[in-house]
Chains A and B, each alone.
Chain A
């Protein structure tokens, strides 16, 4: 089981590399665009590309942020509870979060399908938008795996 959690962790870190690459490209692209604009003509479509890179940066860091306990939560009250009760609260939270992100994931797949069908593209450079919505679905699916692992761990702490 711990091995499975370790695997999930390295998988989340792997995803985060993609998110990190998106941040670097965003930085380089905006800088290049400003310099080009001051010198001659701006690079077309940078606004759109940077926005879509934002989708990659956030979606692919969802799992890593969760593994690192990076999402803000108010902890001080739960920390005062006995260990078992803490595990029960954690299991309930993990389960509800899992349900929420399952729905977001599923719905993004549906939404991406709609966008693909209608041939929705970005305004300036006509880039298809639907792959990025699939990106959110993939990021949410990775988060669901992390949440499932954490849910199982919380259950184990309850029955121990």
Chain B
């Protein structure tokens, strides 16, 4: 059997068995292990798994993940989200759909110190849903806006997805982070436009809240100041070249913890919960990375990624048509497979194609994150919808999925704006070395 055939069998086995509820990281490692053993030798394959696992678990670059996750968890457990929402609410609550708009701003701000969508959605849901309920916002709008707004967590830096993509493709994590800023702001504005249009069409969705006094507005600003300080410390230091992404994560986690302790916002119980969540999430991510590394080594000896890249270029199609198909694969795949797993699975295959076609790898990273955001709020595996449902147990899943639809349109518009205008993502990275 030719290596290519074995590689194809491996890919198909993975695509089918992924639905068997076996942890995705385990499955990739298992198929990679068997496939590599079949193509090279089982002796070599045994050596490969030990070396790959050690290389991934002990990679200095990957330690950025637990550190940034810890930073987000501390922010979550110390109530920064509630204070951010309070600021946005005091300034915008009285506008039509004002609470929903405030939720989007608070999500965007929280995303600037948190790198994962689930944490952003969970923390913002807990902070904002009771308020929107109090003002009789319809459940679909209220939950939909949190699920969609939470997805900004991976576009606005820091971002776990950018970190993993950067390491896989050997692109600068700092450049990827900075590339997410303008698309993040653009998407925040698109989400707000969505709310405004939706509420104009159906005013009973969102009754107006009362206007805050000027004094209340000013007093609420302290919620924003701490977040801004942390963001400037972490991202500023990273972009100025003072420290590596791992150091930025360490300093960010330390700064967030120090602020929480000084302001007495974090209980011992909250601290332990943050720590245990951090190890659990980091372990989950690194197991997937290790599994994908073993699977990737199997694919490399099967020569599939090169064959696919050659095969696709052989069609002589215009690059944007190929790009369109790749986006389609992510859109469909994203509905069924977890975002991180999908990226780990497909980037080794598509990345050579993308660079071969002359697309910018940083830009492609942003596109992938945008499509991932779509995936995490679409059924049946829209993780953010389940997270929001976990907080709002009285709201049926269908209602949340329906509430997300208008925001999906905004996300699709955002993605398709980036295709003809890559500068939206690439302008800021072009300014740094």
| Residue ranges of A at the interface with B (Cβ–Cβ < 8 Å) | 16, 19-20, 23-24, 26-31, 33-34, 38, 47-48, 50-55, 57-59, 61-62, 64-65, 68, 70-78, 89-90, 92-93, 96-97, 100-101, 103-104, 107-108, 110-111, 132-133, 136
B250 close to chain A: CB less than 8 A: yes
The residue in chain B whose Cβ has the minimal distance to the Cβ of A33 is: B247
A103 in contact with B46 given A31-B254, A72-B288 (CB within 8 Å): yes
Q: Are A51 and B279 in contact (CB under 8 A)?
A: no
A58 in contact with B283 given A30-B246, A74-B19 (CB within 8 Å): yes
Nearest CB of B to A160, in Å: 20
Q: Are A52 and B58 in contact (CB under 8 A)?
A: yes
A30 in contact with B21 given A51-B58, A111-B50 (CB within 8 Å): no
Can you name 7 A-B residue pairings with CB atoms under 8 Å? A26-B63, A33-B247, A51-B58, A61-B279, A74-B337, A93-B22, A132-B58
Contact with A along B338-359 (1 / 0, CB 8 A): 1011000000000000000000
B76 close to chain A: CB less than 8 A: no
A30 in contact with B23 given A16-B279, A65-B284, A70-B281 (CB within 8 Å): no
In the bound complex, what is the Cα–Cα distance between A115 and B183 (angstroms)?
47
B263-298 interface with A by 8 A CB criterion = 275-276, 278-284, 286-288
In the bound complex, what is the Cα–Cα distance between A108 and B76 (angstroms)?
37
B311 close to chain A: CB less than 8 A: no
Q: Are A72 and B60 in contact (CB under 8 A)?
A: no
B25 close to chain A: CB less than 8 A: yes
Q: Are A78 and B21 in contact (CB under 8 A)?
A: yes
Contact with A along B245-261 (1 / 0, CB 8 A): 01101110110010000
When distances are taken between beta carbons in the complex, the residues of chain B under 8 Å from A101 are 26
When distances are taken between beta carbons in the complex, the residues of chain A under 8 Å from B26 are 71, 96-97, 100-101
Nearest CB of A to B258, in Å: 9
Q: Are B247 and A57 in contact (CB under 8 A)?
A: no
When distances are taken between beta carbons in the complex, the residues of chain A under 8 Å from B254 are 27-28, 31
Nearest CB of B to A136, in Å: 6
A20 in contact with B59 given A77-B19, A96-B30 (CB within 8 Å): no
Q: Are B250 and A19 in contact (CB under 8 A)?
A: no
B135 close to chain A: CB less than 8 A: no
- Interface centre among B24, B57, B279, B287, by most A CB within 10 Å? B279
B381 close to chain A: CB less than 8 A: yes
- Interface centre among B242, B283, B287, B288, by most A CB within 10 Å? B283
A108 in contact with B53 given A54-B60, A74-B338 (CB within 8 Å): yes
B47 close to chain A: CB less than 8 A: yes
A19 in contact with B279 given A34-B247, A74-B21 (CB within 8 Å): yes
Nearest CB of A to B293, in Å: 13
Q: Name 13 extra pairs, CB < 8 A, besides A65-B287, A108-B53.
A: A20-B279, A23-B275, A27-B253, A31-B254, A61-B282, A61-B283, A72-B25, A72-B341, A74-B21, A76-B380, A97-B23, A103-B49, A132-B58
Q: Are B247 and A89 in contact (CB under 8 A)?
A: no
When distances are taken between beta carbons in the complex, the residues of chain A under 8 Å from B23 are 71-73, 93, 97
B303 close to chain A: CB less than 8 A: no
Nearest CB of A to B29, in Å: 6
Q: Are A26 and B67 in contact (CB under 8 A)?
A: yes
Nearest CB of B to A6, in Å: 18
Nearest CB of B to A31, in Å: 4
Q: Are A54 and B276 in contact (CB under 8 A)?
A: no
Q: Are A70 and B280 in contact (CB under 8 A)?
A: yes
B2 close to chain A: CB less than 8 A: no
When distances are taken between beta carbons in the complex, the residues of chain A under 8 Å from B282 are 23, 57-58, 61
When distances are taken between beta carbons in the complex, the residues of chain B under 8 Å from A93 are 20-23
